[in-house]
C-alpha cells in the first residue's frame, strides 16, 4: 500500500501567502549633512486590508500570536560602473524599533508591540561614504516589486508570508539614492 504525501513546502510548513502594499518603506534623512541616515521602516498594523476581502485580516491571531515578521535587505554601492555589496557592521546601525542583524545583508525583524498592536521596525544605516547606492529587498527572493515578510510563528501555527509591493522600487527592484 503506497502513501500519498505532498512534496510542496507550503503544505508541509502550513504556509499562506497574502499581498498588502507598502508595508515597508525607505527614507533618507539628510538632517545632518555630514552623516545622513538611511532608514528602513516597517510599521504593520495587526489588522491589514487584503485586496478582495471585505474585512481586515488579523495577522497576529492568524499566526497564533507571532511575535515578529522577518525580512531581509542588502545595500550596494556603485564602484567604477559596478555594484559592490556594502558590508554593514553593527556600529553602522541605529536601531530604534525592532531587531536587526548586520553583515552582507540585514536580517530585519518587525516586532509586535502589545501596547499599540503594531509590528514595528525602524533601523537606520549611517556612516556611508559619499556615492550612489541601491537597496534591495531581494536577498532571499527573486521578486523585484515586493518586500517579502514571513511570520515567526511557533509550533504548528500558520506561517503567514506577507508579499508587500513597494511603489518606490525601480524596475530592477532597487531603491536608489545618493550620499553627497
Q: Cβ neighbours of residue 53 under 8 Å, at least 6 residues apart? A: none
Report pLDDT digits (tens) over 45-54.
999 988 888 9
Look up the pTM and report it.
Answer: 0.88
Reported as a pLDDT band with limits 50, 70 and 90, residue 166 is very high
State residue 102's pLDDT score.
93
State residue 32's pLDDT score.
66
Report pLDDT digits (tens) over 83-105.
999 999 999 999 999 999 998 89
Mean pLDDT of the chain: 88
pLDDT score of 167 more than 60: yes
> Which residue carries 527572493 as its cell?
141
| Residue burial 17-37, b: 16+ Cβ < 10 Å; e: rest | ebebeebbbbebeeeeeeebb
Q: Do 127 and 35 contact (CB within 8 A), yes or no?
A: yes
CA distances from 59 to 47, 97, 162 (A): 6, 19, 9
Report pLDDT digits (tens) over 6-42.
444 444 457 889 988 999 999 998 766 677 899 999 9
State residue 5's pLDDT score.
42
Amino acid at each position: 500500500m503506497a502513501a500519498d504525501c505532498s512534496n510542496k513546502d507550503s503544505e508541509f510548513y502550513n504556509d499562506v501567502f497574502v499581498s498588502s502594499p507598502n508595508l515597508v518603506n525607505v527614507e533618507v534623512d539628510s538632517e545632518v549633512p555630514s552623516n545622513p541616515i538611511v532608514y528602513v521602516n516597517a510599521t504593520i498594523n495587526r489588522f491589514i486590508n487584503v485586496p478582495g476581502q471585505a474585512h481586515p485580516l488579523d495577522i497576529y491571531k492568524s499566526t497564533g500570536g507571532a511575535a515578529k515578521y522577518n525580512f531581509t535587505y542588502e545595500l550596494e554601492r556603485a564602484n567604477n560602473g559596478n555594484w559592490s555589496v556594502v558590508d554593514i557592521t553593527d556600529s553602522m546601525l541605529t536601531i530604534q524599533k525592532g531587531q536587526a542583524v548586520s553583515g552582507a545583508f540585514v536580517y530585519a525583524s518587525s516586532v509586535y508591540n502589545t501596547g499599540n498592536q503594531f509590528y514595528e521596525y525602524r533601523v537606520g544605516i549611517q556612516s556611508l561614504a559619499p556615492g550612489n547606492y541601491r537597496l534591495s529587498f531581494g536577498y532571499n527572493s527573486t521578486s523585484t516589486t515586493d518586500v517579502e515578510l514571513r511570520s515567526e510563528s511557533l509550533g504548528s501555527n500558520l506561517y503567514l508570508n506577507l508579499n508587500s509591493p513597494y511603489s518606490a522600487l525601480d524596475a530592477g527592484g532597487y531603491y536608489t539614492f545618493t550620499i553627497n
